[in-house]
Chains A and B, each alone.
Chain A
Amino acid sequence: SQQGEEDPQALSIQEGENATMNCSYKTSINNLQWYRQNSGRGLVHLILIRSNEREKHSGRLRVTLDTSKKSSSLLITASRAADTASYFCATDASVFSGGYNKLIFGAGTRLAVHP
């Protein structure tokens, strides 16, 4: 089964609004990463947050991590039509999974930003 589960599955907003996507996971992690995928393209890395961090910012992106609840959120502020894409969380649990140095991706949130 997948390690990360995103919520909601789909989100539709107007330009200028904020978009919040959530990710829950099951096991202890080393870090959690967010990726973006435009339609028909490969995934692109957005931001990484380590297990000992609680919040991280990058431009209009804000990521939080709550290891006690095994959850993370991605906030996109002042959204633009160009932010329309699917967003995936990915967890690295390598220390806790026999040393396998890999990411496990969630199912993703499809974000549509309307002009």
Chain B
Amino acid sequence: DAGVIQSPRHEVTEMGQEVTLRCKPISGHDYLFWYRQTMMRGLELLIYFNNNVPIDDSGMPEDRFSAKMPNASFSTLKIQPSEPRDSAVYFCASRQGSSYNEQFFGPGTRLTVL
């Protein structure tokens, strides 16, 4: 299995631009998580899905952030408009079944907003 796949791996954009991050979870996993990691705030859970349905989006910082999961093999995290404080590494993770199972993380997307 290829593991969790994220694209792009690096993204540099200018303030005000729209940014779309993509994630392909491991086949058969029914949970998908989006995290953001910064030095200041550590690893923050933004939103998670179960069977393609958003369950908890309380970590989404602002209305500028939105996430979708149109099917079991694809999810996007969109930031519109982007701001310099959105610069971070964004991780996608997936899991099969209950929280007693491990989460598998993707390699992350390093976002820089100038």
Contacts and interface: CB of A to CB of B under 8 A. Distances in A.
- Main SS of chain B's interface residues? strand
Given A33-B102, A92-B99, A103-B99, A108 B42 contact: yes
Interface in A70-111: 88, 92, 94, 100-108
Interface size class of A (residues with CB under 8 A): 20 to 34
A107 B99 CA distance: 20
A101 B48 CA distance: 9
- Main SS of chain A's interface residues? strand
Given A43-B91, A101-B50, A106-B42, A94 B99 contact: yes
A49 B109 CA distance: 30
Interface of B: 4, 31, 33, 35, 42-43, 45, 48, 50, 55-56, 91, 93, 98-100, 102-108
